[in-house]
Structure 1
Amino acid sequence: MSTVKMISLRVKSMKNIQKIVKTMKVVSAAKYAKAKKDLLVARPYGTSTKVFYDKLDLKDPQEQTLLIAITSDRGLCGALHKNVSTKIKEEFAKRPENSKIVCVGEKSRGLLQGQYGKSFLGVADQIGRKPPTFLDASRISNILFTTPYKYTSGKIIFNESKSVVSYLTSVVSVFTLRTLNAAPGLRVYDSLDDDLLQSYLEFSVTSLVFYALKEAAASEQSSRVNAMDQASKTAGNMISELTMVLNKTRQAAITTELIEIISGATAAKKDSGV
């Protein structure tokens, strides 16, 4: 009977877990709907900046590279954050002596600190608990502009939302004032001094960070919906299996008790000479 009680407790525990993950799925689905709506507003910030950079025909000097990992502080969303850290490792391996890392979110710091902790320039936490804002992007870009590390180019690595069931780990380049001044396509613009270019550079980098944060937020919620859906199905399968084991164990216990009763009654009849 102790075995039956233990299995009953496990079934009850799995049902509670299933309720929790179903609730998390519903919450994440609602957050994804809002994140997707916010993303439609934020995408022009990133796409317009990328188009401008493409028109300038900017060249990546690839001398000193700054890598920005966009993740969050929260987990339970599959391999979302691990994909970003894997991409960071691939980029870092190309120029290990001339690369530095800025981690956005505790998850990227946790995944990269053991191997690349000495190459960290900064960590921005408190990301993912609330929808990202342009102010959050400004604080992150401020790290890029105030760091003493003299990088020649940067790469923002983030998860780009494709649909509610898919995302793609993407890379967006950012540049310095020196690289911007050397761009061949800049000659078509008149009366551009360094102050004006610096102001635009700060705005464009912040816009790209903001765009990456919004893409990452939508990807995180969609990935969490899928993860919680899979967890709910797994819990359901475990409940079915445990229920079957519980019924078999209970039936075996009842059968054993009946055999003991019948055996006792038979022995009593023999002893009484009946």
Structure 2
Amino acid sequence: MPSLKELRARITGVKSQRKITSAMKMVAASKLRRFQQRAEASRPYADAMRRMLSELAAATRGQGELPPLMQGGPGRTHLVVMLTSDLGLAGGFNANLARSMRGLVERLEGEGETVRILPVGRKGGDAMTRNFPQAVIERLPGTAGREVPFARAAELGERIVDMLTKGEVDRVTVVYNRFVNAMTQTPTELPLVPLPVPENDNKDENAAQYEFEPDEEELLARLLPRNLQVQLYAALLESAAGEQGARMTAMDNATRNAGKAIDSLSQRYNRTRQANITTELIEIISGAEAV
């Protein structure tokens, strides 16, 4: 049985941990409000741009050679961009995405594709290096819980365009945690290249017909790289909001568990102390009777 000194030390240690987890919860909550607002504000723009590009791509289908960002490359090399956090203590935020990522890689390889992985964030880089070391082309740092600048998405988008232009990859998918609420983040796969185009876009006789100025090919050349950056930026914002939500929930649970542990240790401390006092009284009474 632990001594009173050991129990006091454990209670003091758990109280210190509770202070830390409570502070981390408050910090994550303050960050979550900002990141959630930005993630939700980015969704309408990203969805509208993706829908507009899909309609524009459908209008140009069958009109000659299409840009690589629209049709992809001729080969079977698939680049998967994985967005995770640099920091831990976020519950299952990174583990759930890593599990989803493993399933995606195994499925793509089963379909005969060569998978290349570009993890953004230290936790994702660690997981993919353990599971698919040959597929990781480079490990990029995340935002470490700080603000997400659009320049980060633009830089990542330019790198992807360069890899497509050089023929290093043929298809691109980004995998990230989509923010639902503070307790729920959904692993999501978003195809970026080739650009998803609904098959029935040109078959609806009642669909609106548009005239483009400048022409469709020039618009695609200008807008496709921008759309890639916008989709990556929206995914980065979703991942950042999800990270803070997961961390706030994890730290709240840790704080509650610390409180329960303190209560349990305090009960053990009081019982042990009472037992020691009772034993001392019995010894004193026994000694007095012996005299």
Q: Same fold (TM over 0.5)?
A: yes
Contact 2:84 2:142 in 1 (8 A): no
Contact between 1:128 and 1:217, CA under 8 Å: does it hold in 2? no
State the one-letter code of the partner of 1:26: M
Equivalent residues of 2:88, 2:123 under 8 A apart:
yes
Query: Given the alignment, which residue of 134, 151, 159 partners 1:143?
Result: 159
- 1:258 pairs with one of 277, 281, 286: 281
Which structure 2 residue ranges, 5 or more long, are not aligned?
59-69, 203-209
2:13, 2:36 → 1: CA distance? 34
Matched, 1:203 2:226: yes
Residue 213 (1) aligns with residue 231 (2): no
Q: Which of 225, 242, 247 is 1:224 aligned to?
A: 247
Partner of 2:5: 5
Kindly provide the CA deviation profile for residues 91-130 of structure 1, in whole angstroms up to 9, marking residues without a partner as x: 1112225111110100101111012121112222042331
Return the alpha-carbon distance in structure 1 between the equivalents of residues 274 and 6 of structure 2: 15
The aligned residue for residue 206 of structure 2 is none
- Using the alignment, how far apart are the partners of 1:222 and 1:28 within structure 2? 7
Is 2:22 the counterpart of 1:19? no
Asked whether the equivalents of residues 45 and 208 of structure 1 are also in contact (C-alpha less than 8 Å), the reply is no
> Is 1:72 aligned to residue 85 of structure 2?
yes
Matched with 2:192 is: 174
Matched residues in 1 for 2:46 and 2:139: separation?
22
State how far apart, in whole Å, the 1-side matches of 2:53 and 2:99 are: 26
Q: Is the 1:157–1:170 Cα contact (8 Å) retained in structure 2?
A: yes
TM-score by length of 2: 0.82
Q: Deviation digits for residues 43-88 of structure 1, max 9, x if unmatched?
A: 2342123313443457788932111101120111111111221222
Equivalent position amino acid for 1:22 in 2: S
Q: Does 1:34 align with 2:58?
A: no
TM superposition shift of 1:21: 0.8
Q: Which amino acid aligns with 1:169?
A: P
Amino acid at match of 2:226: F
| 1:102 is aligned to 2:102 | no
In structure 2, what is the Cα distance between the partners aligned to 1:153 and 1:126? 23
Any idea what SS the aligned residue of 1:167 has?
Answer: strand
Cα gap change, 1:238 to 1:62, in 2 (>3 Å): farther
| Cα distance between partner residues in 2 of 1:149 and 1:4 | 69
Look up the SS of the partner of 2:3 in the other structure: helix
2: CA distance between counterparts of 1:149 and 1:134? 26
RMSD: 2.7
5+ residue gaps, structure 1: 269-274
Q: Indicate the residue corresponding to 1:272 in structure 2.
A: none
Please tell me whether the aligned partners of residues 68 and 156 of structure 1 are also in contact (alpha carbons under 8 angstroms). Answer: yes
1:153 to 2:165 alignment: no
Choose the corresponding residue for 1:239, options 241, 262, 267: 262
Give the alignment partner of residue 144 of structure 2, picking from 88, 109, 128.
Answer: 128
Instruction: Work out the percentage of aligned pairs sharing the same amino acid.
Output: 26
Kept in 2, the 8 Å contact 1:176–1:201? The answer is: no
Amino acid at match of 2:284: I
TM-score (norm 1): 0.86
Q: How many residues align?
A: 263
Bigger share in helix: 1
Residue of 101, 105, 113 corresponding to 2:129: 113
Instruction: Indicate if the aligned counterparts of 2:53 and 2:224 stay in contact, CA closer than 8 A.
Output: no
CA contact (8 A) 2:71 2:193 kept: no
Number of the residue aligned with 1:52 = 52
**Are the aligned partners of 1:101 and 1:119 in contact in 2 as well (CA < 8 Å)?**
yes
- Pick from 96, 101, 108 the counterpart of residue 88 of structure 1: 101
Displacement after TM superposition at 1:236 (Å): 0.8
